[in-house]
Amino acid sequence: MFVSYKWLQDYVDLSGITPEELAEKITKSGIEVEGVETLNEGIKGVVIGYVVQREQHPNADKLNKCLVDVGEEAPIQIICGAPNVAQGQKVAVAKVGAVLPGNFKIKRAKLRGEESNGMICSLQELGMEGKIVPKEYAEGIFVFPGDAEVGTDAIGALNRDDSILELGLTPNRSDCLSMLGVAYEVAAILGREVKLPEVRLESSSEMASDYIDIKVEAKEDNPLYVAKVIRNVKIAPSPLWMQTRLMAAGIRPHNNVVDITNYILLEYGQPLHAFDYDRLGSKEIVVRRATEGETMVTLDDVKRTLSADHLVISNGKEPVALAGVMGGANSEVSSETTTVLLESAYFSGAAVRKASKDHGLRSEASARFEKGVDPNRVRVSGDRAAYLMAKYADGEVLGGSVEADTLTVEPAVVSITLEKINRVLGTELSMNVIEDIFSRLQFDTNTEEDTITVTVPTRRGDIRIEEDLIEEVARLYGYDNIPKTLPEGSSTPGHLTGYQQKRRVVRHFLEGAGLYQAVTYSLTSEERVAQYALENGEAIRLAMPMSEDRSMLRLSIVPQLLEVLKYNSARQNENFGVYETGAVFLANKGVELPEEREHLAAAITGVWHSHSWQGEKKPVDFYVLKGILEGLFNKLGVSSQINYVQAKMDGMHPGRTAEILLNGAKIGFVGQVHPTVQKNFDLKDTFVFELSLKAVLEASVEPLHYNAIPRFPSITRDIALVAEKETASGQLKEIIAEAGGKLLKDVQVFDLYEGDRMEAGKKSIAFSLKYEDPEKTLTDEEVTKVHEKVLEALKEKARAVLRG
């Protein structure tokens, strides 16, 4: 809502308060003023001139040579390019020395050999937007009415010596979609009076009811319809002050009748519609739902196909307006109009919203109906419009109104105790303060002991319950005046859950290991959605995606991380790793909500360890990433429950991928991205893992328990084995551990050779075995006995023998 500071003074005395101060006060008490625009900012030296003479420029077809009286001793010569300039016009003249918006300075000039001592201005050149300039002046200069005084300030005459407050209204404050609503608000803030607009109807003896019959079939959508008839109107431009007020509010002037309806819309917040009575095609108005497939042409010359959801005003046969949204072209007021049927109605927000949404037509009118107009302003708005039509369009207002009224208007009556107000706000206000606040709001009150009963005017439909009253008190008392305290009463322990704590541990560990945390989008494309998915679930599609790229909820995080690596690699950052924790989403048939699983994924690429001047450069490999995972599982205390098994998976290198098992159940994978995919993403060797974080964090972990530090020395035996190439080291280790029994404390791989010196299909793998007895020093014989058993088992179970 654009509020003219000058116009507002018609209703509230603003003396002693600048527009900026007013804006600050309004903002602090509840309605955010998003900006204050000074309309004449940067404009100087523009006066009203009279075009004494106009002739063709001798050297240019498209230029006019004008003699303009600007109230000085002699008329001045101005060369003007506007097509509509003519002798006898009153126009805005920027004299030599004048300044126009954009710091455009007017200087004496010679145009094609002819002197020009200024510029005749269009409204756009005076800083107004083309879309609000009256159509007839949109392509040329603006022409003032004949009574404009030559030599006086043109900016003042155009009401540009004004400031516009732009209100950012929240949905509850639609009462301020009108100048009067703003006036009540400002009056409450300032503690001043509201002056209501003038309505003085002199009705003719002929009655409107002789001209029109109103029938409302859709009573729920339209509980009140008021029609007035104004005869003998003379369509002409509306007075300049009205046009300028409309333009300042962002509405383009048309003619007196249409402008008056728009003026009332701004003044009362009540949208009106003027029909050309003679073009209605009948003597009745029937308000009804459209029939399915019915069509009509709206004012903007678009043919609309309607449905039974849409409310229409009809002439008994066909629609003449889309109720509350836009009139029909067939009954539009034109320069020929002599009799006006004026509609002032209460349409339900839901009916108007549906039509305006379906047809993509959001108008000043529909916006107000959607949020709810004041039922008590329907009649007075019509009366005031009729009065203005009599005054500014020479109309004759017929007696009475024709109404269809099923509306019950009950003001809200809300009671509250002083104790409750103070208890909720944390204040110690007295009843006097409360009463004063409601009186400033012009709400009627009745106080009995500790209880105040407030009758809320219908213009404030947002106030229904006690808490609404508390808000009115708080905002007008001032939030600055409310004390600062902290909650008292029962204390609560503040802590993270075990799960949340562990999630933080995971983040810190991975970051300590060199990975950066990424946060990517949950929405992805259909093409990407199933890639690298851990679970065989169905993905979820949005009902109305904004784009194909963001149309489905992800089943995996890895594709998003690959995208991150790609983005960075393309910007010369080819060596790094990222991880992400976040939800993936699986459609859940039968149950309402999808299943959200928290996953952890990581991706690393390029060189991992490097020490530039020492010439060290270690690229990432499978074991770098697996090492990070092992470290993480150690940190979380679940290592003993984890296993890795060779696996194959779409998008992954067939020989360098493992499934991660937790107590035998698959919870994730780790490995190298398939070289083809790497190529598609323009990546060097890249390794990724993704796992169910939930599974890992919910795995049961043994409590920490101290083990005595061994007092007796251990004995280490190293063995180098020749084994089948396919035999996994993990398998050999398991055999060793099993055969080694209690005395075997630790087994580590310390060498692997698969080179030319080995027999085909064989490899050499070396283990270091540590034996220890907590009770005594082991003898060589004791160790040898167990060690022999280990070697025997290796031979028997894996055909792995000591290397000769």
Q: Which is nearer to other proteins, 475 or 789 (CB)?
A: 475
Q: Which is nearer to other proteins, 140 or 594 (CB)?
A: 594
Position 545 contacts other proteins (CB under 8 A): yes
Indicate the pairing of strand 213-216 with strand 284-289.
parallel
Q: Where are the alpha helices (DSSP H) in 637-779?
A: 675-680, 693-698, 729-740
Check: CB of residue 705 under 8 Å from CB of residue 697.
Answer: no
Using CB under 8 A as the binding rule, the residues of this chain from 76 to 95 that contact other proteins are none
- In sequence order, the 6+-apart residues with CB closer than 8 A to the CB of 105 are 97, 98, 99
Which residues does residue 553 pair with via DSSP β-bridges, in sequence order?
A: 523, 540
Segment contacting other proteins by CB under 8 A, of 81-89, 223-231, 263-271, 519-527: 519-527
Q: Which is nearer to other proteins, 50 or 585 (CB)?
A: 585
Nearest approach in angstroms of CB 496 to other proteins is: 6
Structure tokens at 635: 């940190």
Q: How many CA atoms lie within 13 A of 667 on its CB side?
A: 25
Distance of alpha carbon 337 from alpha carbon 268, whole angstroms: 25
Nearest approach in angstroms of CB 571 to other proteins is: 7
Q: Which is nearer to other proteins, 206 or 468 (CB)?
A: 468
Q: Which is nearer to other proteins, 486 or 760 (CB)?
A: 486
Q: Which is nearer to other proteins, 275 or 576 (CB)?
A: 576
Nearest approach in angstroms of CB 37 to other proteins is: 13
Q: Which is nearer to other proteins, 427 or 731 (CB)?
A: 427
Segment contacting other proteins by CB under 8 A, of 81-89, 348-356, 736-744, 774-782: 348-356
Q: Which of 124, 203, 307, 427 binds other proteins (CB under 8 A)?
A: 427
Nearest approach in angstroms of CB 322 to other proteins is: 19
Position 494 contacts other proteins (CB under 8 A): yes
Q: Which is nearer to other proteins, 612 or 707 (CB)?
A: 612
Nearest approach in angstroms of CB 672 to other proteins is: 20
Check: CB of residue 407 under 8 Å from CB of residue 346.
Answer: yes
Q: What's the residue count for the chain?
A: 804
| Other Cβ atoms closer than 10 A to 63 | 19
Q: What are phi and psi of 364, to 5 degrees?
A: -55, -40
Q: Which of 108, 423, 725, 742 binds other proteins (CB under 8 A)?
A: 423
Segment contacting other proteins by CB under 8 A, of 218-226, 257-265, 291-299, 521-529: 521-529
- How many degrees, rounded to 5, is the angle at CA 523 between CA 519 and CA 528? 100
The Cα-based distances of 121 to 70, 135, 317, 693 in angstroms read 13, 16, 48, 70
Distance of alpha carbon 684 from alpha carbon 703, whole angstroms: 42
Q: Which of 192, 219, 440, 507 binds other proteins (CB under 8 A)?
A: 507
Q: Which is nearer to other proteins, 425 or 667 (CB)?
A: 425
Position 223 contacts other proteins (CB under 8 A): no
Nearest approach in angstroms of CB 553 to other proteins is: 7
- The 3-state secondary structure of 330-342 reads HHCCCCCCCCEEE
The helix/strand/coil state of 269 is coil
Segment contacting other proteins by CB under 8 A, of 24-32, 182-190, 674-682, 753-761: 24-32
The Cα-based distances of 569 to 140, 561, 637 in angstroms read 56, 12, 35
Position 506 contacts other proteins (CB under 8 A): no
The helix/strand/coil state of 530 is coil
Using CB under 8 A as the binding rule, the residues of this chain from 437 to 476 that contact other proteins are 465-468, 470-471, 474-475
Check: CB of residue 728 under 8 Å from CB of residue 658.
Answer: no
Using CB under 8 A as the binding rule, the residues of this chain from 571 to 590 that contact other proteins are 571, 573, 576-579, 582-583, 585
Q: Which of 496, 665, 749, 801 binds other proteins (CB under 8 A)?
A: 496
The helix/strand/coil state of 360 is coil
Using CB under 8 A as the binding rule, the residues of this chain from 165 to 184 that contact other proteins are 170-173
Q: Which of 399, 514, 619, 637 binds other proteins (CB under 8 A)?
A: 514
Kindly tell me the burial class for residue 649, based on how many C-beta atoms sit within 10 Å of its own C-beta (0-12, 13-18, 19 or more). middle
- How many degrees, rounded to 5, is the angle at CA 688 between CA 683 and CA 692? 150
Distance of alpha carbon 178 from alpha carbon 192, whole angstroms: 18
Using CB under 8 A as the binding rule, the residues of this chain from 358 to 417 that contact other proteins are 370-371
Q: Which is nearer to other proteins, 556 or 641 (CB)?
A: 556
Which residues does residue 609 pair with via DSSP β-bridges, in sequence order?
A: 618
Q: Which is nearer to other proteins, 107 or 618 (CB)?
A: 618
Segment contacting other proteins by CB under 8 A, of 7-15, 215-223, 276-284, 539-547: 539-547
Q: Which is nearer to other proteins, 344 or 605 (CB)?
A: 605
Structure tokens at 291: 């029939």
Q: Which of 86, 151, 391, 516 binds other proteins (CB under 8 A)?
A: 516
Q: Which is nearer to other proteins, 78 or 693 (CB)?
A: 693
Nearest approach in angstroms of CB 506 to other proteins is: 12
Q: Which of 335, 485, 700, 707 binds other proteins (CB under 8 A)?
A: 485
Position 479 contacts other proteins (CB under 8 A): yes
Q: Pick the closest to residue 553 from 520, 529, 574 (CA basis).
A: 529
Q: Which is nearer to other proteins, 20 or 153 (CB)?
A: 20
Q: Which of 380, 433, 523, 647 binds other proteins (CB under 8 A)?
A: 523
Q: Which is nearer to other proteins, 379 or 420 (CB)?
A: 420
Q: Pick the closest to residue 222 from 332, 340, 343 (CA basis).
A: 343
Distance of alpha carbon 391 from alpha carbon 382, whole angstroms: 14
- In sequence order, the 6+-apart residues with CB closer than 8 A to the CB of 60 are 111, 112
Structure tokens at 639: 């290592």
Nearest approach in angstroms of CB 102 to other proteins is: 20
Using CB under 8 A as the binding rule, the residues of this chain from 108 to 127 that contact other proteins are none
Q: Which is nearer to other proteins, 241 or 499 (CB)?
A: 499
Nearest approach in angstroms of CB 483 to other proteins is: 5
- In sequence order, the 6+-apart residues with CB closer than 8 A to the CB of 225 are 214, 216, 285, 287, 343, 345, 346, 403, 404, 405
Check: CB of residue 303 under 8 Å from CB of residue 297.
Answer: yes
- In sequence order, the 6+-apart residues with CB closer than 8 A to the CB of 220 are 348
Q: Which is nearer to other proteins, 174 or 262 (CB)?
A: 174
Radius of gyration of the chain (CA): 42
Kindly determine how many residues on this chain lie close enough to bind other proteins according to the rule CB under 8 A.
94
**Sign of torsion over alpha carbons 254, 271, 40, 241:** positive
- How many degrees, rounded to 5, is the angle at CA 251 between CA 247 and CA 253? 75
DSSP 506-523: HHHHHHHTTPEE----SE
Using CB under 8 A as the binding rule, the residues of this chain from 253 to 312 that contact other proteins are none
Using CB under 8 A as the binding rule, the residues of this chain from 184 to 203 that contact other proteins are none
Nearest approach in angstroms of CB 634 to other proteins is: 17
Nearest approach in angstroms of CB 29 to other proteins is: 6
> CA dihedral in degrees (263, 267, 270, 271; nearest 10)?
20
Q: Which is nearer to other proteins, 84 or 427 (CB)?
A: 427
Mark residues 591-630: x for contact with other proteins by CB under 8 A, - for none: -xxx-x-----------xxxxxxx----------------
Q: Which of 201, 236, 413, 542 binds other proteins (CB under 8 A)?
A: 542
Distance of alpha carbon 628 from alpha carbon 691, whole angstroms: 13
